[in-house]
Structure 1
Amino acid sequence: MLKRYSYTADSLKKVIKLALFNSISHKELVNWCEDFLQETTKDTRISKDRSLNKKAIMVALDIENQWELFLSNTYTFEELQKLDQKKVEMPKQWLEKWDNSIQ
């Protein structure tokens, strides 16, 4: 489902909304953000879109980092070994904040 979204700030906003309304899991959002970051940072040359995506890159990084922190602060190592991450949800207000921060 998420493969149809190109790696742009607009698509990031759409993907966040999908997670906010439980159309995708938060883990799928994180995975999309990881792919977005790889695509936007793999080319060392500055692209013409890079300045437009700077805020989106920062939001995607925040989503990725907060996910890791949320998991490590919420679950024990043993729980993480058995955890179905597709069922884990970050606080809704985080998603709302990320959504509102992309114009």
Structure 2
Amino acid sequence: MAWSEKPIDKPHTLENLADLLSQGLLGSMSRFSHFQIVEWCSQFVEHYDLSNSEEFHISPADAICLADDVIVQWELYLASQYTLDDLNRFSLNDIVLPKTFFEDWLNRFLALPTQH
């Protein structure tokens, strides 16, 4: 899928964090590239207003930690899977993270048990 290079234009809410983690599970079928999701998470960490949600049971601090983990795991994935030459050959929007990353993040967000 050819994704837009534009940033995701969604408010930095828990509802949108859950939606984007769900989109990430879709991989190449997602409306957004994983890079766009990572960039949105970076903005979420900076701009989330720390309000609680009655719909989700995740604390504001845990939501910020989870969004920060998305950013960190992206960087670790790039560093461990690609050379600098590789990264210069294509757009970051072309990179698709493993589905298990998004499964784990969504399970943590929803406080679901993880399987190992």
Task: Please show how residues 1-103 of structure 1 align to structure 2 within 5 Å.
Answer: 2-3=8-9, 5-21=10-26, 22-40=30-48, 49=51, 52-103=59-110
Displacement of 1:48 in angstroms is: 5.8
CA distance in 2, matches of 1:66, 1:77: 17
Normalising by structure 2, we get a TM-score of 0.73
Amino acid at match of 2:18: K
Gaps of 5+ in 2: 1-6, 53-57, 111-116
Structure with the bigger percentage of helix: 1
RMSD: 2.0
Structure with more relative contact order (C-alpha pairs < 8 Å, separation 6 or more): 1
Displacement of 1:69 in angstroms is: 0.6
Give the conservation status (yes or no) of the 8 Å contact 1:8–1:53. no
> Would you say how many aligned residue pairs link Structure 1 and Structure 2?
96
Which stretches of structure 1, 4 residues or more, deviate above 6 A after TM superposition? Answer: none
| Shift in alpha-carbon separation, 1:67–1:77, aligned structure 2, 3 A | same
Give SS of 1:102's match. Answer: helix
CA distance in 2, matches of 1:98, 1:19: 10
Q: Identity across aligned pairs (percent)?
A: 27
Name the stretch that deviates more: 18-27 or 48-57: 48-57
Amino acid at match of 1:35: Q
Give SS of 1:35's match. Answer: helix
Normalising by structure 1, we get a TM-score of 0.81
